[in-house]
């Protein structure tokens, strides 16, 4: 065990810091789920990142990445959040689909999809859930029927993050006549293909971050199927592992938030309830614990281990720490807490927006109830 | 940066695990409880024979000279069986302190000799009656006395294997070990090893409940198939998973002796023992009324967690050390492994 950075890792941190200092926009961008303009400004930022070769640091160089290891990825993320760089509009592509494609895609598929994902030229939405299949993803009903060299897709997807403005989506489709986990395939489709209708769904904060997607005889080449027909469930479980386990929420996000919370406390401690200091300290502890846990997982994976059902513990931990952290900020702010960022007396940090966003944490990427079932059944061995 | 355990570390933990699994069963400690016995001489002899008491002791004092990480893994195994013997305090805290003050001391040459320690943070001394000697504190200076050179006022603990005493003593009857004693280091070691024991206690409480929930039927199904039961235990397991890397990082950090290291040690002690409390309470709940009975083993793990939580620094003491780091040192995502000296 050696919990110090090597000189190479320190030099890498300095390199990332210098580049971000020179390139991170001085003014925060409008949120990518708020308007088309905000979305396109973030696409532009993805292109800027790519110009410095920072689009997707862990991917192989030949597919538009930088070929870095997981510890370097963590250092990159730490510097990224420290610099206050814009959110990643293409996170569905780069953190979910990207690693899945690298593991299961053919060379041709990787060449076709990965570089344009890393550069922001093509921004991806996920199209997993359906009205009757949320946490019970094996219940999807949307169908795929092979016709010559194409697939014909039909069905109704919902809760598709980014789909309103994105270019492409990946979803699970069923070969007609199959049931549950069998007969599912992971297929990509362009969101502007004939037969695709995208209807925005406003989120709790008014942003159009979700959509429902109707597919009516949408024709895509069979090339767009990842893995074999019927292998979709297996592939999706791997994708979910990336999402819950490591890549979806890097610890730096919460460490920055915990730092801001400590600053908020310092500024308000003469007027706020003294008992809140314990919550501020707790938020810092939680963010630190999450970082240590991820460093430990990254070290294990680099030593050859595979990520297992313990990935489900991460998702519960970060989603709960996020709610506790933002709730503590609201408690410190008192009456100012309810003001939105455009109010004259609003706090400099939009904690209410962060709190509202945190409320989604226990729901998306598989609800925390489902994660607890996974932990109980696959880690602890309790009966189904 | 490599946050993994090496083969040797895993080997020592495995040695401790199999030794304790064979000898420290609930049946055995129930017999000890009935007999009012706090220590099993045969088990202590096998612990000594296996070399576990020598792990943290420096080579200059006849030890193996391994690290706090190695000893923390052993402490975790001691927690898993609620080990009655004072392995952790004696071999993890007191003996290394004695070795740093008097490396030639004859007590160190006798690995069977357990040593007790009276830290200024602790009003009561554990296992002072059965110790070969007690390290005592006065104004930063360390003294050594045998139990018959002091007056022991027994204080019964909720944990039947914690024999606590108020120690009344007179400098005339004790030997000075000089002013060089590092009481902070003793506190940090005790805190991390108590945290490691907490991880073991927590995992055992969960494991006991899992075994019960697979077996016990209600409404025609094992209770472990009900989501409400699963969620109690999954939540406890989450607490364990996020305490473990903190404990390991704290153990690896101790040598640094700065605000960062102290905060991490305190963080480890807080969350590992909170995990133990959470797991024990979940386990009692899952066991139902049986869980509240003397017959089911869970209560001993709960009681050990209760005892360790308030000794070697209360939660408030440890929270204050973390606050000190948070509000007086740089924080943020680039500071996870930063050292105070980086900011000098």
pLDDT at A133: 84
- A2 in contact with chain B, both atoms CB, cutoff 8 A: yes
Chain A: closest CA distance from residue B183 (Å): 25
In terms of Cβ atoms closer than 10 Å to its own Cβ (0-12, 13-18, 19+), residue A340 is exposed
For residue range A19-45, list pLDDT tens digits in order: 999 999 999 999 999 899 999 999 999
Distance of CA A196 to the CA centre of its chain: 24
Q: Which of A261, A288, A300, A320 to mutate to test the interface with B (most CBs of B within 10 A)?
A: A288
Residue A132 half-sphere exposure toward CB, CA atoms < 13 A: 8
Name chain A contacts of B333, Cβ cutoff 8 Å. Answer: 77-79, 81-82, 251-252, 255-256, 259, 291
Chain B: closest CA distance from residue A317 (Å): 7
Cβ contact, residue pair B337, A3, below 8 Å:
yes
The per-residue pLDDT string of chain B (344 residues; one tens digit each, 9 = 90 and over) reads 999 999 989 988 999 999 999 999 999 999 999 999 989 999 999 999 999 999 999 999 999 999 999 999 999 999 999 999 999 999 999 999 999 999 999 999 998 999 999 999 999 999 999 999 999 999 999 999 999 999 999 999 999 999 999 999 999 999 999 889 999 999 999 999 999 999 999 999 999 999 999 999 999 999 999 999 999 999 999 999 999 999 999 999 998 989 999 999 999 999 999 999 999 999 999 999 999 999 999 999 999 999 999 999 999 999 999 999 999 999 999 999 998 877 75
Cβ contact, residue pair A303, B4, below 8 Å:
yes
Annotated catalytic residue within A77, A212, A229, A243 = A243
Chain B: closest CA distance from residue A138 (Å): 19
Q: How confident is the model at residue A345 (pLDDT cuts 50, 70, 90)?
A: very high
Chain A: closest CA distance from residue B12 (Å): 15
Cβ contact, residue pair B1, A4, below 8 Å:
yes
Searching chain B, which residue's CA lies closest to the CA of residue A79?
Answer: B334
Residue B141, helix vs strand vs coil: strand
Does the active-site annotation cover A243? yes
pLDDT at A21: 97
Cβ contact, residue pair A5, B231, below 8 Å:
no
Residue A240 has pLDDT above 70, yes or no: no
d(CA A83, CA A64): 23
Which among A71, A78, A296 is the nearest to B333, CB-wise? A78
Cβ contact, residue pair B225, A285, below 8 Å:
no
pLDDT at B163: 93
Residue B113 near residue B133, CB atoms below 8 Å: yes
Mean pLDDT in residue range A218-222: 97
Residue A243 has pLDDT above 70, yes or no: no
- A269 in contact with chain B, both atoms CB, cutoff 8 A: no
pLDDT at A242: 63
Name chain A contacts of B230, Cβ cutoff 8 Å. Answer: 372-373, 375-377, 382
Question: Which is it for strands A210-221 and B163-168: parallel, antiparallel or unpaired?
Answer: unpaired
d(CA B10, CA A306): 19
- A61 in contact with chain B, both atoms CB, cutoff 8 A: no
pLDDT at A137: 82
Name chain B contacts of A280, Cβ cutoff 8 Å. Answer: 326
Mean pLDDT in residue range A295-313: 88
Which among A281, A292, A377 is the nearest to B246, CB-wise? A292
Query: What's the ipTM?
Result: 0.96
Name chain B contacts of A317, Cβ cutoff 8 Å. Answer: 238, 241-242
pLDDT at A244: 57
Q: What is the 3-state secondary structure (H, E, C) of A171-217?
A: EEEECCCCCCCCCEEEEEEECCCCCEEEEEECCCCCCCCEEEEEEEE
Name chain B contacts of A2, Cβ cutoff 8 Å. Answer: 1-2
Closest CA to B191 of B126, B119, B268, B244: B268
Q: How confident is the model at residue A245 (pLDDT cuts 50, 70, 90)?
A: low
Residue A226, helix vs strand vs coil: strand
Which among B246, B322, B336 is the nearest to A281, CB-wise? B322
Alpha-helical runs (H) found in B24-137: 26-35, 41-50, 68-80, 87-89, 95-101
Residue B156 is inside which H or E element, if any?
strand B151-156
Q: How confident is the model at residue A156 (pLDDT cuts 50, 70, 90)?
A: very high
Q: How confident is the model at residue A95 (pLDDT cuts 50, 70, 90)?
A: confident
Chain B: closest CA distance from residue A215 (Å): 35
Residue A326, helix vs strand vs coil: helix
pLDDT at A93: 86
Searching chain A, which residue's CA lies closest to the CA of residue B260?
Answer: A288
Which among A78, A288, A295 is the nearest to B267, CB-wise? A288
Residue A135 has pLDDT above 80, yes or no: no
Q: How confident is the model at residue A208 (pLDDT cuts 50, 70, 90)?
A: confident
Chain B: closest CA distance from residue A28 (Å): 20
Residue A375 has pLDDT above 90, yes or no: yes
Distance of CA A359 to the CA centre of its chain: 15
Closest CA to A372 of A328, A285, A312, A288: A312
Cβ contact, residue pair B327, A262, below 8 Å:
yes
Cβ contact, residue pair B227, A382, below 8 Å:
no
Searching chain A, which residue's CA lies closest to the CA of residue B331?
Answer: A259
Name chain A contacts of B329, Cβ cutoff 8 Å. Answer: none
Closest CA to A85 of A32, A165, A36, A27: A27
Searching chain A, which residue's CA lies closest to the CA of residue B240?
Answer: A313
Q: How confident is the model at residue A205 (pLDDT cuts 50, 70, 90)?
A: confident
Which among B3, B206, B246 is the nearest to A380, CB-wise? B206
Tokens 């789909």: give the residue. Answer: A163
Which among B69, B334, B337 is the nearest to A79, CB-wise? B334
Percent of chain A with pLDDT strictly greater than 70 = 98
Cβ contact, residue pair B333, A71, below 8 Å:
no
Mean pLDDT in residue range A122-147: 91
Chain A: closest CA distance from residue B141 (Å): 33
Q: Which of A249, A281, A294, A301 to mutate to test the interface with B (most CBs of B within 10 A)?
A: A281
């Amino acid at each position: 065990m050696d919990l110090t950075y090597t000189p190479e890792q320190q030099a890498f941190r300095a390199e990332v810091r210098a580049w971000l200092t020179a390139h991170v926009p001085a003014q925060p961008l409008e949120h990518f789920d708020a308007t088309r303009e905000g979305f396109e400004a973030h696409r532009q930022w993805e292109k800027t990142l790519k110009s410095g070769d920072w689009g997707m640091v862990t991917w192989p160089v030949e597919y538009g990445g930088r070929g870095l290891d997981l510890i370097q990825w963590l250092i990159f993320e730490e510097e990224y959040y420290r610099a206050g760089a814009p959110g990643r509009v293409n996170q569905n592509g780069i953190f979910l689909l990207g690693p899945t494609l690298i593991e299961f895609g053919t060379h041709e598929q990787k060449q076709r999809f990965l570089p344009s994902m890393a550069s922001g030229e093509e921004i991806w939405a996920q199209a997993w859930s359906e009205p009757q299949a949320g946490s019970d993803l094996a219940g999807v009903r949307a169908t795929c029927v092979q016709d010559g060299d194409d697939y014909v897709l039909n069905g109704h997807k919902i809760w598709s993050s980014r789909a309103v403005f994105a270019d492409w989506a990946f979803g699970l489709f069923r070969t007609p006549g199959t049931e549950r986990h069998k007969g599912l395939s992971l297929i990509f489709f362009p969101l502007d293909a004939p037969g695709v209708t995208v209807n925005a769904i406003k989120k709790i904060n008014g942003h159009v971050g979700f959509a429902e997607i109707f597919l009516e005889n949408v024709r895509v080449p069979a090339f767009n199927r990842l893995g074999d027909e019927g292998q979709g469930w297996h592939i999706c479980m791997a994708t979910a592992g990336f999402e819950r386990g490591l890549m979806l929420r890097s610890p730096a996000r919460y460490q920055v938030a915990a730092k801001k919370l400590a600053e908020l406390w310092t500024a308000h401690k003469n007027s706020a309830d003294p008992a809140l200091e314990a919550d501020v300290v707790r938020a810092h502890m939680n963010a630190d614990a999450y970082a240590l846990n991820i460093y430990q997982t990254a070290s294990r994976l680099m030593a050859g281990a595979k990520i297992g059902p313990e990935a489900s513990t991460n998702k519960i931990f970060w989603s709960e720490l996020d709610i506790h952290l933002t709730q503590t900020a609201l408690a410190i702010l008192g009456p100012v807490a309810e003001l939105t960022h455009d109010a004259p007396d609003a706090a400099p940090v939009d904690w209410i927006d962060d709190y509202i966003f945190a409320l989604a944490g226990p729901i998306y990427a598989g609800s925390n109830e489902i994660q607890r079932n996974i932990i109980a059944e696959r880690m602890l061995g309790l009966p189904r | 940066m490599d946050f993994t355990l090496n083969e040797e570390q895993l080997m020592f933990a495995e040695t401790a695990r199999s030794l304790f699994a064979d000898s420290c069963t609930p049946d055995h400690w129930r017999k000890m409880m009935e007999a009012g016995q706090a220590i099993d001489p045969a088990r202590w002899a096998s612990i000594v024979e296996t070399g576990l008491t020598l792990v943290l002791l420096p080579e200059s004092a006849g030890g193996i000279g391994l690290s706090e990480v190695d000893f923390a893994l052993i402490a975790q195994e001691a927690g898993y069986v609620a080990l009655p013997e004072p392995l952790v305090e004696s071999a993890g805290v007191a003996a290394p302190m004695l070795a740093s003050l008097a490396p030639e001391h004859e007590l160190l040459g006798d690995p069977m000799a357990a040593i007790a320690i009276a830290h200024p943070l602790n009003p009561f001394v554990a296992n002072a009656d059965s110790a070969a000697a007690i390290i005592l504190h006065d104004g930063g200076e360390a003294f050594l006395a045998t139990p018959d050179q002091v007056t022991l006022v027994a204080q019964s603990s909720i944990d039947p294997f914690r024999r606590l005493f108020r120690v009344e003593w007179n400098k005339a009857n004790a030997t000075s070990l000089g002013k060089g004693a590092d009481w902070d280091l003793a506190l940090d070691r005790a805190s991390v090893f108590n945290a490691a024991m907490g991880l073991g206690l927590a995992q055992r409480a969960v494991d006991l409940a899992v075994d019960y929930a697979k077996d016990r039927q209600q409404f025609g199904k094992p209770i472990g198939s009900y989501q409400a039961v699963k969620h109690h235990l999954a939540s406890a397991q989450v607490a364990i998973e996020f305490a473990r890397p903190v404990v390991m990082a704290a153990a690896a950090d101790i040598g640094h002796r700065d605000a960062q290291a102290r905060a991490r040690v305190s963080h480890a002690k807080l969350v590992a023992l909170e995990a133990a409390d959470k797991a024990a309470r979940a386990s009692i709940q899952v066991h139902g009324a049986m869980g509240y009975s003397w017959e089911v083993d869970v209560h001993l793990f709960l009681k050990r967690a209760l005892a360790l939580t308030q000794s070697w620094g209360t939660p408030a003491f440890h929270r204050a050390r973390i606050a000190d780091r948070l509000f007086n040192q740089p924080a943020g995502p680039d500071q996870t492994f930063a050292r105070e000296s980086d900011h000098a």
